Amino acid sequence: MVQPSLSSPILVLNAGSSSIKFAVFDGDMTEHITGIAEGIGGASSLTVAGQSRDAPFIDHKAALKAVLDALKSKGLAVADLSAAAHRVVHGGRKLTAPVKITADVRAEIASCTPLAPLHNPHNLAAVDTLAEIAPELPQYASFDTSFHATNPDAATRYAIPRMMETKGIRRYGFHGLSYASLVQNLPQISGEKLPSRLLAFHLGNGASLCAIKNGQSIATTMGYSPLDGLTMGTRSGGIDANAVLRLVEENGLNRTKAILNHESGLLGLSGGKSDMRNLMVDPSADSAFAIEHFCYWSLRHAGSLIAAMEGLDAIAFTGGIGENAVGVRARILRSLEWIGVRMDPDANHARKARLHAQTSKIAVWVVPAQEERMIAKDAATLMEAA
């Protein structure tokens, strides 16, 4: 149970389209409680510290109030919090670092809504609801796009003309909080300094790769939106723009959005399964092909990012698939032997942090995703600097 005596507790909120994930950290970044309100607007439920119950949430505001009530029942009232920290998916061109939320910052986040219409409005709903309930509570935002602000212009600009019709259309990249956390945590896991040329695989229902050179992102696979790049759970990944235009002509805009974002990827390839765990135990040819497609395109993009870094010193896996899918990691690493990777099969099967053999020229690590802790750290750093 969380106790009111927690030092400087920070509530981290990650509001999605139909859910709010939350976690409470104390001043030394120890995580004390986690949970999720999910199915908002439908068959909703609330899970706190592993205990679930059905609960009707008509909207995000109702869900967040239920989260706060649940925390209070665990001994932590809103008045006990030192801050709330939010994951905001899109910060656009201007919001490229963690920031305290002011009226101007809120307006800028809102202006990025056309770039992330499925995410930013829900992120703001959590901000606004907390502002109503606890107007004196400081709120902070960390952005999923900001880690990639160091990408060069050649990496971020599409080869389209600069004109009003194309305003804001560029590559932004996502999963930035995961990659920022990985950069901080890998040296602690490896006991060595951060590799100069690091290829990071964030593999989960949403999946991307990032080329990290001297600690900074120089290229990533997601682009204008999280739809681009790798084969994902329900997203198509990269697809020819003319193919998209044809889908729009034949099916309309809204139907095409649904197909590409919610009915494609592993789900579309396998005929109904988007979870890698289910695919790996299914003996069907469709499931096997979906897994191969996922691995193949991960490798295709890996080659591109290795070229962007002009070489490779280390690989790191993170995310639900990256941390747990032994077979997927093995398939990818075997196909990177050409660059000097040598996997230790026993270490991989034993789910160890270090996956490379003694003879490997390339280090290979598994780094648990800690996005919520990263968000809490961002807020704590800003509070200390104030």
Q: Can you say whether residue 128 is alpha, beta or left, with left for phi > 0 and alpha for psi between -120 and 50 degrees?
A: alpha
**Residues making up the chain, counted from first to last:** 386
Residue 190 reports pLDDT greater than 90? yes
Residue 1 reports pLDDT greater than 70? no
Pairing type for strands 99-100 and 51-54 reads unpaired
| Residue 278: predicted pLDDT | 95
Q: What is the pLDDT of residues 242-258, one digit of tens each?
A: 999 999 999 999 999 99
Q: How confident is the model at residue 3 (pLDDT cuts 50, 70, 90)?
A: very low
Structure tokens at 133: 């309930």
The CATH number of 191-371 is 3.30.420.40
- What is the rounded distance in angstroms from the CA atom of residue 218 to the CA atom of residue 151? 4
Q: What is the pLDDT of residues 194-204, one digit of tens each?
A: 999 999 999 99
Catalytic residues: 144
Tally of helices (H runs) and strands (E runs) in the chain: 14, 13
Edge-to-edge strands, sheet with 45-48: 51-54, 45-48, 31-38, 19-25, 10-15, 83-88, 139-143, 99-100
- What is the rounded distance in angstroms from the CA atom of residue 276 to the CA atom of residue 291? 8
pTM of the model: 0.93
Domain ranges for the chain: 10-143, 191-371
Element (H or E) spanning 126, and its range?
Answer: helix 120-133
The 3-class secondary structure across 75-121, one letter per residue, is CCCHHHCCEEEEEECCCCCCCCCCEECCHHHHHHHHHCHHHCCCCHH
Residue 135 reports pLDDT greater than 90? yes
- Using a pLDDT cut of 70, give the percent of the chain over it: 98
- Amino acid at the residue 242: N
Mean pLDDT of 250-278: 96
Give the DSSP per-residue string, 259-282: HHHHS-HHHHHHTS---HHHHHH-
Q: Helix, strand, coil: what percent of the chain each, to 5?
A: 45, 20, 40
Contact present, 87 and 142 (Cβ < 8 Å): yes
Mean pLDDT of the chain: 94
Mean pLDDT of 214-238: 96
- What is the rounded distance in angstroms from the CA atom of residue 143 to the CA atom of residue 155? 19
- What is the rounded distance in angstroms from the CA atom of residue 282 to the CA atom of residue 83? 45
Collapsing DSSP to helix, strand or coil, 303 comes out as: helix
Collapsing DSSP to helix, strand or coil, 139 comes out as: strand
How many Å from the N-terminal Cα to the C-terminal Cα in the chain? Answer: 31
- What is the rounded distance in angstroms from the CA atom of residue 377 to the CA atom of residue 379? 5
Mean pLDDT of 165-191: 94
Residue 5 reports pLDDT greater than 80? no
Residue 2 reports pLDDT greater than 70? no
Collapsing DSSP to helix, strand or coil, 48 comes out as: strand
Mean pLDDT of 274-285: 96
Report the candidate in 297, 314, 366, 353 with the shortest Cα–Cα distance to residue 199. 314
Residue 4 reports pLDDT greater than 50? no
- What is the rounded distance in angstroms from the CA atom of residue 171 to the CA atom of residue 342? 33
Mean pLDDT of 339-366: 98
The CATH number of 10-143 is 3.30.420.40
Domains 10-143 and 191-371 share a fold: yes
